[in-house]
Structure 1
Amino acid sequence: MTTPSDPPVPPARSSAARPGRKLGPVVDGVGSTHRAWLDPMRGKYLTSGLTLNELGTRVPLAKSKLSELLRGAGLYPRWSIVHSLGQVLDLPQWPLQRLWQQAARDAHKTPDWIKNSNGKPVLTRSGPPLDHGAFRELVADDYALYAQTFLDDQLRDTAVADTFDALWLSWDDALSSHDTRHFAWQVLRTCVMSRTLHLDGRPELSPAVFDTVALRDLVSESDRVGQVEESLNAFRAISRLPDHQLDVIVLRYLHGMDAERVSSLLGASLATVRSEERYAVQHLDSVLCPPTETEGNTTP
């Protein structure tokens, strides 16, 4: 007589083979602070192998409402539901709650609504992964310098804090990406640009003009006015550069970083940084120092 063996464990169901209706994309108009926690949550769901029906047995919300939440549709969700969904999907609760609160404020929810919708607040703060903490210590000061180019002190601090919370939520994705530094820089850029004033689709750098070294060293009021005008013209030209060139110029010239440091910060090769800088400088020279009519008509 033989003893029956344990039945084989069925293979995990891949997200591609998930039965039922496919989750739709995030709806238009969802703000970047909302997406800071929504995108990692969607990513966790899509790789979990769970269906919306199965998720609905663990979270007190109808399948249609879960679909809306995961697409950013409908009303902004209460924390009690986001908290429950985050627990099922094994998302760290502290950064999830902080990003949820920030997005609620950006959605013009009142302090009372935010407080009353908490349901299950996170009472204790758990620490991020050790390598996340080490990465933060390495780049936090440089991230703040970049953010300060576009934002005042309060918004700068908020953007940088949101960056590291969003990275905490998606840290596994960051580590599995082709370059963690590049992944993290895109998160920072999104957090900063979502709070930056834009003109004709391009970010405004003008607040930084009054903190330039040249202005701080000037004494004459007439010199100061002239320098302001010159700096404003330069900042307008810089703001119209393509995104990669803009970042390189901001870090290299407004903050004096060497090319190697910029390469490490952006997660881009040194050759790429130097190429972007070269093209950007050529463009700025053509805009700020165009050839005069006499120069253009000079004959040999």
Structure 2
Amino acid sequence: MTSPVPDPPLDFQAFYQHYHRAYLNYAYLQLGERTTAIETVESVFVQLLETWPEVLTQPSVQRYAYSVLRRAIANHLVLRHGSTALVETATFAKVRVAVRRQLEVLESSLGLYAAIARLPERQMDVVVMRFVLGYSVTTVAETMGVSTGTVRSHIHAARRRLAHELGVQYSKETEAEEIA
């Protein structure tokens, strides 16, 4: 007879409750399939639970956990020999939800999301969480385990890079309004 599985520690349960939805939304944007995203995120949380005492010794639990999530997503993408599904999933999610502004032309949004997908990893993550998923700077920072200043710095660099790539005027005034 096997003994019952004990409940996860309370701090793990709190961590799970706080970050599960953000991880799931992010994984879905990257993987493009809900079932795959759910399986990936659940496997990340199982891995974190199995090593929870060691996870708690990390300088930043959030940063460590986020790196486990990124690694799981990257491994899944390598196994399916594919690239991120961001272009497709973010475009249609953005149109459906209309989080920031109404997109004038689907064609131009495809170009924007394709350009976002080409950003360096951390810049892309910040832009996706902040502007596609609509999370606050504080939530993005907590989710990634970095400071709000780091998030703002990534947003600034990403906006400049996107403006250059898309051939649009870069405006620090507009950026200041949207980052907050």
Shift of 1:268: 0.4
Are 1:161 and 2:42 matched, yes or no?
yes
Alignment of 1:211-230 (within 5 A): 211-212=93-94, 214=95, 226-227=105-106, 229-230=107-108
Tell me the equivalent position of 2:133.
Answer: 255
Rounded to whole Å, the distance in 1 between the matches of 2:168 and 2:87 is 22
Rounded to whole Å, the distance in 1 between the matches of 2:110 and 2:155 is 20
Rounded to whole Å, the distance in 1 between the matches of 2:113 and 2:3 is 45
Tell me the equivalent position of 1:186.
Answer: 67
Amino acid at match of 2:38: D
Tell me the equivalent position of 2:27.
Answer: 147
Assess if the C-alpha contact under 8 Å between 2:29 and 2:85 holds in 1: no
Structure having the higher Rg: 1
Assess if the C-alpha contact under 8 Å between 1:196 and 1:204 holds in 2: no
Tell me the equivalent position of 1:210.
Answer: 92
User: 2:112 is matched with which residue: 234, 242, 254?
Assistant: 234
Alignment of 1:72-111 (within 5 A): none
Q: Aligned to 1:203, what secondary structure does the other structure show? A: coil
1:5-26 C-alpha deviation (Å, 9 max, x unpaired): xxxxxxxxxxxxxxxxxxxxxx
Amino acid at match of 1:185: Y
Shift of 1:211: 2.0
| Runs of 5+ unmatched residues, structure 1 | 1-121, 218-223, 292-300
Tell me the equivalent position of 1:126.
Answer: 6
Tell me the equivalent position of 2:124.
Answer: 246
Assess if the C-alpha contact under 8 Å between 1:197 and 1:203 holds in 2: no
Rounded to whole Å, the distance in 2 between the matches of 1:260 and 1:186 is 18
Rounded to whole Å, the distance in 2 between the matches of 1:197 and 1:286 is 30
Rounded to whole Å, the distance in 1 between the matches of 2:115 and 2:78 is 16
Assess if the C-alpha contact under 8 Å between 1:251 and 1:257 holds in 2: yes
Are 1:277 and 2:159 matched, yes or no?
no
Rounded to whole Å, the distance in 1 between the matches of 2:5 and 2:30 is 30
Q: Which has the higher contact order (CA 8 A, sep 6+)?
A: 2
Q: Aligned to 1:135, what secondary structure does the other structure show? A: helix
Identity of aligned residues (%): 29
Rounded to whole Å, the distance in 1 between the matches of 2:44 and 2:3 is 22
Rounded to whole Å, the distance in 2 between the matches of 1:277 and 1:150 is 19
Are 1:172 and 2:53 matched, yes or no?
yes
1:97-137 C-alpha deviation (Å, 9 max, x unpaired): xxxxxxxxxxxxxxxxxxxxxxxxx7843322221111101
Residues matched between the structures, number: 161
Assess if the C-alpha contact under 8 Å between 1:248 and 1:273 holds in 2: yes
Assess if the C-alpha contact under 8 Å between 1:202 and 1:240 holds in 2: no
Q: Aligned to 1:241, what secondary structure does the other structure show? A: coil
Q: Aligned to 1:161, what secondary structure does the other structure show? A: helix
Change (3 A) 1:287 1:123: farther
Change (3 A) 1:206 1:268: same
TM value normalised by structure 1 = 0.49
Change (3 A) 1:241 1:201: farther
Q: Aligned to 1:149, what secondary structure does the other structure show? A: helix
Aligned CA RMSD, in angstroms, stands at: 2.6
TM value normalised by structure 2 = 0.79
Shift of 1:173: 2.1
Rounded to whole Å, the distance in 1 between the matches of 2:92 and 2:109 is 9
